[in-house]
Amino acid sequence: MADDKQLTRLRDQIDSIDDQILALISERARCAQQVAEVKQSAGDAVFYRPEREAQVLRHIMAKNQGPLDNEEMARLFREIMSACLALEQPVKVAFLGPEGTFTQEAALKHFGHSAVTVPLGAIDEVFREVAAGAVNYGVVPVENSTEGMINHTLDTFLDSTLNICGEVELRIHHHLLVGPNTHSDHITRVYSHSQSLAQCRQWLDGHYPKAERIAVSSNAEAAKRIKGEWNSAAIAGDMAAELYGLTKLNEKIEDRPDNSTRFLIIGRDSIPPSGDDKTSIIVAVRNEPGALHNLLEPFHRNGVDLTRVETRPSRTGKWTYVFFIDFLGHRDAPNVSAVLAEVGSIVADLRVLGSYPKAVL
Ligand SMILES: C=C(O[C@@H]1C=C(C(=O)O)C=C[C@H]1O)C(=O)O
């Protein structure tokens, strides 16, 4: 038995600490309200500031001395900021629905749980609703560590004038889910998004080689669909399992344990520097000898680190290659703006998709 007196004393101590935390969070929330008033009187309608939020979280992680780890501590502060912001104006964020997708999880990880998330049926709809001003931001998947680029998202950027305002990385754990009518010995169909089916290919080959694999628009849609079906399973994540009341027959069935997806936050405004930023651009290059070398050389010469170079076929037919390039640094930094000016002068077309804070969490 624990020492009753010692327990009582520790719990009293926790109660008094909680009172202090409560008072401090309230004081912080009042401060954030005043910031909103200052912004409003300056005619600034944008309360949410991604670069400032990234700085707050980085500061917390740098100062944290444990015992909670940096990510855990930052997650708590993420939620405090989200709640403070929602006092003035909850951020409205569109995502690739239905409810329960990994994209929704990414949206909540980035904006916190006080954000209002709006499920939409397709990636281009997310772009459209942001462009129309019906929501403040959108969240779209862009690349998976196992399966590579999500080409549909890249292609949608070709026709869009929206800005990238941030990035989120999410560890993706897939589970094999069933409804009450299905037994593990009688699974003849497995539904999921094509990316998720691909991420679990070897596991499915080993455990359900004969089951038909059916690709649907999202893994949450798969979970929703099998709820009342016989002999059917879905591959989806925790949020979908919980939301649609399904049983996890097998957990973490992704072939690679480090399976993760990167998502982009899209919005209408460009974002000032946060001190640790990335920039994404699209360039169209003429099909001539040395074109790729000439395109990349200025980055190297100016000490700008490339983090990703992706090629897509141009859809106009006019240019042979379109490159999506990500690199470290903000477009306002002198070495980055020098590279952009130089690259702009040699390529057929250059569009800066945005400079944004590097993912903190
Ligand atoms: C308080 C501000 O506004 C919002 C709330 C923040 C916070 O709670 O720390 C940070 C950035 C903004 O999203 C601010 O700009 O400082």
Residue 81 CA: nearest ligand 1 atom is: 8
Residue spans of alpha helices (H) in 244-320: 291-301
pLDDT of residue 166: 97
CA of 358 to the centre of ligand 1 (A): 18
Q: How far is the CA of 31 from the centre of ligand 1 (A)?
A: 9
Closest of 107, 95, 84, 97 to residue 36, by C-alpha:
84
**Smallest CA separation from ligand 1 atom 6, residue:** 81
The confidence band for 318, taking pLDDT boundaries of 50, 70 and 90, is: low
Do 119 and 74 form a contact (C-beta atoms < 8 A)? no
Output the pLDDT for position 1: 58
Percent of the chain with pLDDT over 70: 98
236, pLDDT greater than 70: yes
Convert the pLDDT of each residue in 49-65 to its tens digit.
999 999 999 999 999 99
Cα 48 to ligand 1 centre (Å)? 6
Give the pLDDT score at 193.
92
- Choose which residue among 81, 82, 111 to substitute to test ligand 1 binding: the one with the highest number of ligand atoms within 8 A of its C-beta: 81
- Among the ranges given (19-33, 215-229, 332-346), the one the predictor scored with the smallest mean pLDDT: 215-229
Residue whose CA is at the smallest distance from ligand 1 atom 8: 81
Question: What percent helix, strand, coil does the chain show, rounded to 5?
Answer: 40, 25, 30
- Mean pLDDT of all residues belonging to the chain: 93
What pTM value is reported for the model?
A: 0.91
| Nearest protein CA to atom 15 of ligand 1, as residue | 49
Rounded distance from Cα 52 to ligand 1 centre (Å):
6
In 3D, which of 199, 178, 198, 180 has the Cα closest to residue 189? Answer: 178
What is the 82 CA–ligand 1 centroid distance (Å)?
A: 9
Which protein residues are within 6 Å of ligand 1, measured from CB?
Answer: 32, 35, 47-49, 52-53, 56, 81, 84-85
Per-residue pLDDT of 259-313, as tens digits, reads: 899 999 999 999 999 999 999 999 998 888 888 899 999 999 999 999 999 988 7
Distance of CA 175 from the midpoint of ligand 1 (Å)? 37
Q: What is the DSSP string of 244-264?
A: TT-EEEES---SSTT-EEEEE
Q: Which residues contact 100 (CB under 8 A, 6 or more apart)?
A: 220, 223, 224, 236, 237, 239, 240, 242, 243, 244
- Counting from 1 in the atom list of ligand 1, the atom nearest the Cα of 32 is 1
Strand boundaries in the chain, DSSP class E: 92-96, 116-120, 137-144, 148-149, 163-171, 175-178, 189-192, 212-215, 232-236, 247-250, 260-267, 277-285, 306-313, 321-328, 349-357
What gap in Å lies between CA 247 and CA 129, rounded to an integer?
Answer: 34
Ligand 1 centre to CA of 51 (Å) is 9
* ipTM exceeding cut-off 0.90 for this assembly: yes
Model pLDDT for residues 176-208, shown as the tens digit of each residue: 999 988 888 889 999 999 989 999 999 999 999
Of 60, 85, 89, 360, the residue with max ligand 1 atoms within 8 A of its CB, to mutate for a pocket test, comes to 85
What is the rounded average pLDDT of the residues 30-51? 90
Residue having the nearest C-alpha atom to atom 13 of ligand 1: 48
Domains plus CATH for the chain? 175-250 (3.40.190.10), 277-357 (3.30.70.260)
Q: Is the pLDDT of residue 319 over 60?
A: no
